[in-house]
Structure formats: C-alpha cells, structure tokens
C-alpha cells in the first residue's frame, strides 16, 4: 500500500535520489530541505504524512531539533534518521525524542523501502 513519506534532507542530490526510490516503489514523496520547512508541512491540518525520513545535519533546524519539536507538539509520526555518523550519543538523543529507525549514509534504496514498510503509519 502506498505511503506518504516526508523527506527532510538539505542535499538536493540525496533528496532527489530518495524521492526517486520512494516514488518508484509506489509511495508518495513530499520534500523539505530542513527541519523548519518540515514542521511547516506537518503543522498543516491534513498533511497525511505516514513516515518521516530526516537527515541529522541540516541548516536552520537539524533533524534532532525537528524530532524534539514533533515530540513537544505531540505529533506522532515514525521517523527514520539519516546521518554520516554512527555516534552512540546521537543515536541515544534521537531515540530519546522518538526516532524509530537509523540509517548511516551511504545506504541502499532497499534499506529505506524496508524501513518504510516496517515503520510507517497505516
């Protein structure tokens, strides 16, 4: 079943690649280039987002600040964090604020799709 996926990634190349993988698999990608843009999308009443894929390191509002804001606003959407680092402290902090998955770049499209299928809201 198709899922509406919010991609939060500041790199246009990575964002486009994720959009392509997600769209090709039959899902509907929606994109934001930072956490602030993502919050604007998620604060719309009928956004329909079923899962969030977010980079950690971004300008204006990083991925950790985004999921912290989501927790504070009681927005409960499963979030997969993407990063080039596998720091135990970052993973702990992300999980503390509600991240449900973690992928280290570079990753395979199949890994993203499997995680979407496993964690997305119905």
Per-position pLDDT tens, the chain of length 122:
899 999 999 999 999 999 999 999 999 999 999 999 999 999 988 899 999 999 998 988 899 999 999 999 999 999 999 988 777 787 888 888 889 988 888 888 899 999 999 999 88
Helix/strand/coil for 92: helix
For residues 30 and 8, give the distance between their C-alpha atoms in angstroms, rounded to a whole number: 9
Q: Is the pTM of this model over 0.85?
A: yes
pLDDT at 89: 81
For residues 20 and 59, give the distance between their C-alpha atoms in angstroms, rounded to a whole number: 23
Tell me which residue range forms the domain holding 112.
Answer: 4-119
For residues 81 and 100, give the distance between their C-alpha atoms in angstroms, rounded to a whole number: 8
Q: What is the CATH number of the domain that holds 47?
A: 3.40.50.2300
Rounded percentage of the chain residues whose pLDDT exceeds 70: 99
Average of per-residue pLDDT values in the chain: 91
> How many domains are there within the chain?
1
pLDDT at 102: 86
């Amino acid at each position: 079943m198709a899922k509406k996926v919010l991609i939060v990634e500041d790199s246009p190349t990575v964002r486009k690649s994720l959009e392509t993988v997600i769209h090709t698999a039959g899902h509907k990608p929606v994109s934001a280039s930072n956490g602030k843009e993502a919050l604007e999308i998620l604060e719309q009443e009928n956004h329909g987002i079923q899962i969030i894929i977010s980079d950690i390191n971004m300008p204006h509002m990083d991925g950790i600040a985004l999921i912290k804001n989501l927790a504070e606003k009681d927005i409960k959407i499963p979030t997969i964090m993407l990063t080039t680092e596998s720091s135990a402290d970052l993973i702990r902090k992300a999980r503390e604020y509600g991240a449900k998955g973690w992928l280290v770049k570079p990753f395979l499209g199949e890994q993203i799709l499997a995680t979407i299928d496993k964690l997305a809201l119905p």
